Amino acid sequence: MDETPRVGGRQPRVPQGARVYAVGDVHGRIDLLRALEAQIVADAASRAERCRNLLVYLGDYVDRGFDSRKVLDHLASEP
């Protein structure tokens, strides 16, 4: 049985010349989200090869942490 995930009948792939940063399980922690975004910016800037950087937020934005509203406001704002 093929365990490869399919999207619209096709195998998902990252386009050539692109880098994907996937962020999930924020759980209301705006402090950690901002720190992670800063690390992503630093990582992208430090790489010798330039490419299109894609930042994907996967979910679990709220609950547990104390700043769920700030997380949602941050994600809804322009980058």
Pull the structure tokens for residue 21: 């940063």
Nearest to 75 by CA among 19, 21, 37: 37
Q: Which residue has the higher pLDDT, 10 or 1?
A: 10
Task: Tell me the CB-side half-sphere exposure of residue 9, using CA atoms within 13 A.
Answer: 0
CA dihedral (40, 42, 48, 51) in degrees, to 10, reads 40
Query: What's the pLDDT tens digit per position in 2-59?
Result: 666 676 778 778 888 899 999 999 999 999 999 999 999 999 999 988 899 999 999 8
Q: Which residue has the higher pLDDT, 78 or 1?
A: 78
Give the number of other Cβ atoms within 10 Å of residue 60's Cβ. 13
Residue with tokens 């999930």: 24
* pLDDT of 62 strictly over 80: yes
